């Protein structure tokens, strides 16, 4: 079965750039999405189709996807961005999620 691998945790200082990676076999040939989840809340999509931002998502969120790796980049990270982030892709009519990355802003 298809797998997506994320680092368990990433730390960043306020105002700096955070990068979260998601690795999977030939992931660049698929569309990648990124979801943000804060404690006690449902996930919210922050990037879809590799690099598109839904309305209402700040411009500091961006995404890329090439080769075997998709990357979520948060520029000028703010304290409110502290959350769990999950990547997701489709493989043969099955949705697959990464294990999640806890972003700490300190």
Q: Which is nearer to other proteins, 79 or 93 (CB)?
A: 93
Instruction: Tell me if 24 sits within 8 A of 32, measured CB to CB.
Output: no
Strands 101-105 and 9-12: parallel
Per-residue exposure over 38-47, b if at least 16 CB sit within 10 Å of its own CB, e if not: eeeeebeebb
CA max distance for the chain: 39
Size of the site for other proteins (CB under 8 A): 21
Show the binding pattern over residues 29-68: x = contacts other proteins (CB under 8 A), - = does not. --x-x-x------xxxx--xx----x--------------
Residue carrying the six token digits 């209402």: 56
Shortest Å distance, C-beta 63 to other proteins: 12
Shortest Å distance, C-beta 98 to other proteins: 8
Beta bridge partners of 36: 44, 85
Residue 15 touches other proteins, criterion: CB under 8 A: no
Q: Under the rule (CB under 8 A), what is the footprint of other proteins?
A: 1, 31, 33, 35, 42-45, 48-49, 54, 86, 88, 90, 93-97, 99-100
């Amino acid at each position: 079965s298809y797998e997506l691998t994320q680092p368990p945790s990433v730390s960043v200082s306020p105002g700096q750039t955070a990068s979260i990676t998601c690795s999977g076999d030939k992931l660049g040939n698929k569309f990648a999405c990124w979801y943000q989840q804060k404690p006690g809340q449902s996930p919210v999509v922050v990037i879809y189709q590799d690099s598109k931002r839904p309305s209402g998502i700040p411009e500091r969120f961006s995404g890329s996807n090439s080769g075997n790796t998709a990357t979520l980049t948060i520029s000028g990270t703010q304290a409110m961005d502290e959350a769990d982030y999950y990547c997701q892709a489709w493989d043969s009519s099955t949705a697959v999620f990464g294990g999640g990355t806890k972003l700490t802003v300190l």
